[in-house]
């Protein structure tokens, strides 16, 4: 058998930037990997570390028993409305332009790591900004759906755990953690691992649910003790059947009670009424479908761990970053763009 150290791809280990040709490492040991047929093996041990599945997804997980099972269920078995509806994609672009400021930057030739890619909404956005290449990572099986929805040679799809990323630290120009760290067991540790992947001078864009009095009063925190215990398929059916009642009562409260009614709904109704800017230009059927998915998202993930704004700032700065822009008002989620010094 040919020694893996003699494999042609192993030659990249002698280049100045080994990540150019060997993007993956063993997440447990840090040893470089080489592609051997449809598997990636450790150059040192020869052990199989990852499999290529579905033609495009490099799978470092190789099992389905994960805390992201609710996301896997939703995105594999429901309509991918947020990723394929043109108006919702336009609304998402406007939101990302506002949050990241990337529309005003020249991202050509840059390498991006996206942690928590889901169905690839942000992947698609970054590709449209001209990013050189993007590695989209998600622990859930939704990454397979994303690889089907996005047909672009600059996009690479990885099923992996944010707690053990299969990349060399400091090998990315941009790292994105959008709407994901709160759904991991230890958000601060997840943010630390993401930050470590950024090159000096590179950009970290990260987001977290906000631990504030406003968000702590949200209805979902009153019901998650129960909804997280119900099997995903059963709860999706329950939520779908009850959606006319939940949505109708939210509208009625707003119409009869004004702002007080809106606040009552936010505190007690598990249905998520989306802000107008998220629904601009969409028809009723699309609106209802998106709100159903968002309500399911809010009530079913195993972990929902928001962060205090000062902790968010202290962590980012403590990892050696200078915060360039930040949102930390109590009635918004937290998000920030920071430069590694």
Whether residue 183 sits in one domain with residue 84: yes
Element (H, E) at 340: strand 334-340
Q: Give the pLDDT score at 76.
A: 75
Residue 335 forms beta bridges with which residues? 207, 327
Q: In which domain, by residue range, is 12 found?
A: 4-50
Using the CB atoms, write b or e for 306-328: b if 16+ within 10 Å.
Answer: bbebeebbebbeebebeeeeeeb
Mean pLDDT, to the nearest integer, of 18-40?
Answer: 82
According to DSSP, residue 186 is labeled -
In this structure, is residue 229 part of a structural domain? yes
| Residues 309-330 pLDDT 10s | 999 999 999 999 999 999 999 9
Whether residue 196 sits in one domain with residue 262: no
In this structure, is residue 150 part of a structural domain? yes
Whether residue 187 sits in one domain with residue 128: yes
In this structure, is residue 57 part of a structural domain? no
Contact 137, 50 (CB under 8 A): no
Whether residue 133 sits in one domain with residue 25: no
In this structure, is residue 285 part of a structural domain? yes
Domain at 113, CATH number: 3.40.50.150
Report the DSSP pairing between strands 155-159 and 57-59.
parallel
Confidence grade of residue 302 (pLDDT, cut at 50, 70, 90): very high
Judged by DSSP in three states, 222 sits in helix
Q: Give the pLDDT score at 4.
A: 52
Q: Any idea of the CA torsion for 225, 231, 232, 238, to the nearest 10 degrees?
A: -80
Q: Which residue has the tokens 């040919």?
A: 2
| Residues 83-99 pLDDT 10s | 678 888 899 999 999 99
Q: Cα–Cα distances in Å, from 93 out to 32, 168, 304?
A: 36, 30, 25
Phi, psi of 170 (to 5 degrees): 75, 25
Overall number of domains in the chain: 3
In this structure, is residue 24 part of a structural domain? yes
CA distance 293 to 278: 13
Mean pLDDT, to the nearest integer, of 123-140?
Answer: 96
């Amino acid at each position: 058998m040919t020694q893996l150290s003699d494999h042609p791809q192993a030659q990249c280990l002698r280049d100045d930037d080994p990540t150019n040709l060997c993007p993956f490492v063993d997440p447990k040991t840090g040893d470089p990997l080489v592609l051997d047929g449809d598997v990636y093996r450790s150059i040192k041990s020869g052990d199989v570390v990852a499999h290529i599945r579905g033609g495009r997804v490099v799978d470092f997980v190789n099992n389905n028993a994960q805390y992201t099972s609710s996301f896997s269920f939703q995105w594999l078995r429901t309509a991918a409305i947020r990723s394929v509806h043109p108006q919702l994609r336009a609304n998402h672009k406007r939101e990302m332009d506002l949050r990241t400021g990337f529309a005003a930057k020249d991202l050509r030739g840059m390498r991006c790591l996206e942690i928590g890619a889901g169905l690839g909404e942000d992947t698609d956005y970054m590709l449209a900004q001209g990013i050189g290449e993007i590695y989209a990572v998600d622990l859930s099986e939704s990454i397979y759906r994303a690889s089907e929805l996005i047909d672009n040679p600059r996009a690479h799809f990885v099923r992996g755990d944010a707690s053990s990323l299969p990349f060399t630290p400091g090998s990315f120009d941009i790292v994105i953690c959008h709407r994901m760290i709160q759904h991991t067991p230890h958000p601060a540790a997840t943010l630390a691992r993401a930050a470590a992947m950024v090159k000096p001078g590179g950009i970290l864009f990260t987001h977290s649910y906000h631990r504030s009095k406003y968000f702590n009063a949200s209805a979902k925190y009153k019901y998650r003790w129960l909804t997280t215990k119900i099997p995903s398929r059963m709860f999706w059916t329950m939520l779908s059947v009850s959606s006319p009642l939940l949505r109708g009562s939210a509208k009625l409260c707003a119409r009869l009670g004004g702002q007080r009614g809106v606040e009552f709904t936010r505190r007690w109704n598990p249905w998520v009424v989306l802000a107008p800017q998220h629904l601009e230009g969409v028809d009723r059927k699309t609106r209802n479908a998106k709100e159903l998915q968002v309500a399911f998202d809010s009530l079913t993930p195993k972990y929902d761990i928001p962060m205090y704004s000062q902790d968010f700032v202290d962590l980012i700065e403590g990892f050696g970053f200078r915060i360039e822009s930040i949102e930390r008002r109590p009635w918004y989620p937290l998000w920030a763009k920071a430069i590694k010094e």
